[in-house]
Amino acid sequence: MARNKELNQKIKDERREQILSSALMLFATKGLSATRITDISAAAGISQGLMYHYCKSKEEIFSELIKYALDRMNAACIELEKLPLPPHQKIKMAIEKLLQGFDANKNTSYYYLLILQATVSEAIPREAKEIISQGSSLPYEVIERILIEGQKEGTIKDYDARDLSVVFWTSIKGLALNKAAFGGSYKMPDPRILAGIFLNE
Amino acid sequence: MARNKELNQKIKDERREQILSSALMLFATKGLSATRITDISAAAGISQGLMYHYCKSKEEIFSELIKYALDRMNAACIELEKLPLPPHQKIKMAIEKLLQGFDANKNTSYYYLLILQATVSEAIPREAKEIISQGSSLPYEVIERILIEGQKEGTIKDYDARDLSVVFWTSIKGLALNKAAFGGSYKMPDPRILAGIFLNE
DNA sequence: GTCTATATCCAGATAGAC
DNA sequence: GTCTATCTGGATATAGAC
């Protein structure tokens, strides 16, 4: 009895994983609206009707993916800030890790595409919009704080820290979207190019 | 008689302008698929049925907007390359002009959103895909050539020129998308921040 | 040229059998 | 838990009146 329940739960969890993973790819490459529920079910290898045992709608899946992406990004930023390193090293490391992540795993760049859609699009469930509007400012704040610290030490260039933080993230996002667009054929540039935007030599 | 024909043509042209302009905003903020033909007709102030006198489908409008954006961008790049200026000045000027353009006119950043959609999405008419795949490499090539020239003169940093060109455009695109996402509230950063990526001091 | 009304089609969601 | 069949709604596209 208990055995069966456990097994069923396991199957259910695995299917849900499968669904989320398929949906990520489809949402990223077609957008929420153009992705049909049957696209997701086909990619996950189940019938269309069965989808409704695992989720209420594709909007729900979309929101869940957004939440997951934001949570991970924010957690990583908090970790970064806590590291026992001088600020300019934190910036260097962040850039290296982010670019490596894009090269290693295309899903990473797909998440950026999802976040962009959710930020920019009016055709997105209210829930996803709320998750975004509440959870997307932390990375900017963290980088800004680190840059200000570095400016005090004289290791970071003396432009407006808010501007620098915006350039940091828009450049990263630009590269992520390029990766999502051109995929395997495209390799990330030398991270020192980006680091040079911020660091005094 | 001839008068009427001229007048009719003029009305027709104006309407078409209206439709294209409304469609740009809607495609950028909702995506092609989520934009209904009635959204466009309502924004242009005409009935849904009348749309079919001015275009075959929303896909056709989308392709036309993509073509227009690419043509203008490519023409601007060719102009830039021809200017009688040293390479590092061309880079500086390109960055300044691009950022000014984003601040001056939100439509500019909307075009970037359209290009991104057309590049990344599978749910895009074949025609738009073809336009993109044929017409989107020139800006990268032009910037790469200018950078190589500057490297010979010692005014441009000595990283791989292809990498630098990719960073140039991905950073610009990142800023454009940020503008599209956050709109009026967001002001472009100091162009010297970006220029510093490329220029030897 | 412009509108309203209608037909067609397709995706989302539900119901019922296994 | 899983499928197939069906209902429903909404968007596209067309037809016909003014």
Which whole number is the average pLDDT over B49-64? Answer: 97
Which whole number is the average pLDDT over A147-154? Answer: 98
Using DSSP's 3-state secondary structure scheme, residue A136 falls into coil
Exposure string over B96-128, b if 16+ CB within 10 A, otherwise e = eebbebbeeeeebbbbbbbbbbbbbbebbbeeb
Give the residue with greater pLDDT, A183 vs A121. Answer: A121
Nearest residue to B189 via CA among A170, A116, A199: A170
Chain A (45-104) residues lying within 8 Å, Cβ to Cβ, of chain B: none
B100 vs B102: CA distance, rounded Å: 5
A42 vs A25: CA distance, rounded Å: 13
* pLDDT averaged over every residue in chain B: 96
User: Please, are residues A28 and A114 in contact by the beta-carbon 8 Å criterion?
Assistant: yes
Give the pLDDT confidence score for residue A9 in this predicted structure. Answer: 82
Give the residue with greater pLDDT, B201 vs B71. Answer: B71
Q: Write the pLDDT tens digit of every residue in A24-77.
A: 999 999 999 999 999 999 999 999 999 999 999 999 999 999 999 999 999 999
Q: Write the pLDDT tens digit of every residue in B95-149.
A: 999 999 999 999 999 999 999 999 999 999 999 999 999 999 999 999 999 999 9
Using DSSP's 3-state secondary structure scheme, residue A31 falls into coil
Could you say which DSSP state residue A184 is in? Answer: G
Give the pLDDT confidence score for residue A185 in this predicted structure. Answer: 84
pLDDT for B32 beyond 80: yes
pLDDT for B2 beyond 70: no
Q: What value, to the nearest 5°, has the Cα angle with vertex A71 and ends A68 and A77?
A: 140
Which whole number is the average pLDDT over A6-34? Answer: 93
* pLDDT averaged over every residue in chain A: 95
Q: Which of B30, B123, B193 sits opposite A197 (nearest CB)?
A: B193
Please give the structure tokens belonging to residue B133: 């795949």
Q: Which residues 6+ apart lie within 8 Å of B197 measured at CB?
A: A193, A194, A196, A197, B157, B164, B167, B168, B171
pLDDT for B13 beyond 90: no
Q: How confident is the model at residue B3 (pLDDT cuts 50, 70, 90)?
A: low
- Flag the least confident range among A46-55, B5-14, B172-181, B183-192: B5-14
pLDDT for B31 beyond 60: yes
Which whole number is the average pLDDT over A70-89? Answer: 98
Q: Which of B157, B163, B170 sits opposite A174 (nearest CB)?
A: B170
Instruction: Record the pTM.
Output: 0.96
Q: Write the pLDDT tens digit of every residue in B151-182.
A: 999 999 999 999 999 999 999 999 999 999 99
Place of tokens 């055995």: A3
Q: Which bases of chain D are contacted by protein, using any atom under 7 A from a CB?
A: 1-5, 10-16
Give the residue with greater pLDDT, B21 vs A3. Answer: B21
Q: In 10 A of CB A78, how many CB atoms? A: 12
CA distance B91 to chain A (A): 15
Q: Which of B163, B174, B180 sits opposite A120 (nearest CB)?
A: B180
pLDDT for A23 beyond 60: yes
pLDDT for A3 beyond 70: no
HEC assignment per residue over chain B: CHHHHHHHHHHHHHHHHHHHHHHHHHHHHHCCCCCCHHHHHHHHCCCCCCHHHHCCCHHHHHHHHHHHHHHHHHHHHHHHHHCCCCHHHHHHHHHHHHHHHHHHCHHHHHHHHHHHHHHHCCCCCHHHHHHHHHHCCHHHHHHHHHHHHHHHHCCECCCCHHHHHHHHHHHHHHHHHHHHHHHHHCCCCCHHHHHHHHECC
CA distance B170 to chain A (A): 4
Place of tokens 């390029």: A178
Please give the structure tokens belonging to residue A16: 């849900």
CA dihedral B187, B190, B191, B192 (to 10 degrees): -170
Q: Is the CB of B26 under 7 A from strand D?
A: no
Give the pLDDT confidence score for residue B9 in this predicted structure. Answer: 83
Cβ contacts of B192 on chain A, cutoff 8 Å? 159
pLDDT for A2 beyond 60: no
Could you say which DSSP state residue A156 is in? Answer: B
Q: Is the CB of B29 under 7 A from strand D?
A: no
Give me the domains of chain B, ranges plus CATH numbers: 1-55 (1.10.10.60), 62-198 (1.10.357.10)
pLDDT for A5 beyond 90: no
Q: Write the pLDDT tens digit of every residue in A103-120.
A: 999 999 999 999 999 999
Q: Is the CB of A10 under 7 A from strand D?
A: no
